[in-house]
Amino acid sequence: MKIAVIGHICRDIIHQPEGTSGDKVSSEQWGGIYYSILTLANLLKESDTITPIVAVGKADHAELLERLGQYPNISTKAISLLPGPTNAVHLFYEGSSDNRIECSAHISPPIPFAQIKPHLDVDGILINMISGFGISLETLDHIRMEVRNDGTPILFDFHSLTLGVDKEGKRFRRPLTDWRRWCFMLHSIQLSEIEANGLTAERYDEPALINQLMPLMVNNLLITRGHRGVTLIQQKQKKLTRHDFEGLSLSDAPDPTGCGDVFGAAYLSRLVEVKDAVAATAYANRAAAINTTFRGAEGLSALSARLAGQEQAHPGEKDLP
């Protein structure tokens, strides 16, 4: 199996609320698409190949290669060097893990299609818009057309594409006027519930969004709902079915960092293997729940073993009009 992962790798700088000492508690770690890469590396066989098509700042290049080099199934040949710093995300938490302010710094330039094209002879493509600027719409068009005749499934995670950025780097929700072009002819689309609600300039509610989005030659729409699980809208021969998966609670103090990235990577890996979006969604839902029990991406080394002991029944399907 060969998987290409496209997007901006980033450094997460996490700022926790003041402790009893009155000091801010901050930590820095690899984040975003790094979680996607490590999820695939730990779920796939050593004989498989994961090719991250990402760019990293010069100061972080050696460390990233050293970390990824621990996995024989990760090819680093498509990792390019940035003239400036690595894309960074500052996360300011206030109280609960759901209450945070996100700011971006050193946003990397979009990855050009010329850098991507040589690495598209794969079984699946994961595009994670972790920064919102990983690729341009024109590059996405080129990718779609390049793999169309091969039927290569593309999972497109909207992530920060639904966020604008102000002069201070603070991210804010804003609709996409060209959302239909972004969605067109994609095998699978991943949106969080919040992203789905704020995606369209028309302010479609969820049922209306489903009815507008699925006719754009989309096979599967995944709407993640945090601790409440995920919904899969599946289209086969123009018939829509809905599958609702309940969330799995595996920790008294869950850490949601990277859960969407783990979900997307686990989904695509299982989809390519079994060609079944329902089974892939159940698998990814379990993987994301297990990720909440880890602190940092390095905990993903235990993901495969933990998944082997977790099962989730098929929730049943519901036909949509």
Question: pLDDT tens digits, residue range 67-99?
Answer: 999 999 999 999 999 888 998 888 887 655 556
Task: Give the residue numbers spanning the domain of 257.
Answer: 2-9+31-82+108-320
Residues 6+ apart with CB under 8 A from 6: 53, 54, 111, 116, 125, 126, 127, 128, 134, 135, 143
- Is 173 inside any structural domain? yes
Asked, for residue 14, whether it belongs to a domain, the answer is no
**Domain-embedded: residue 161:** yes
- Judge whether residue 135 has pLDDT over 80: yes
What predicted TM-score, i.e. pTM, was given to this entire model? 0.92
How many independent structural domains does the chain possess? Answer: 1
| pLDDT of the residue at 20 | 43
Q: Is residue 102 part of a domain?
A: no
Among 64-78, 91-105, 234-248, which stretch is predicted with the lowest mean pLDDT? 91-105
- For residue range 142-200, list pLDDT tens digits in order: 999 999 999 999 999 999 999 999 988 888 999 999 999 999 999 999 999 999 999 99
Residues 6+ apart with CB under 8 A from 211: none
* Of 86, 3, 80, the residue nearest 41 (C-alpha): 3
Which band of pLDDT confidence, cut at 50, 70 and 90, is reported for residue 39? very high
A 10 A CB-CB count for 13 gives: 17
Residue 222 lies in a domain: yes
Residue 49 lies in a domain: yes
User: Residue 284's domain is classified under what CATH number?
Assistant: 3.40.1190.20
Cα end-to-end distance, the chain, whole Å:
36
In a domain, 19, yes or no: no
Reported as a single tens digit per residue, the pLDDT across 275-288 is 999 999 999 999 99
Are 222 and 230 within 8 A, CB to CB?
A: yes
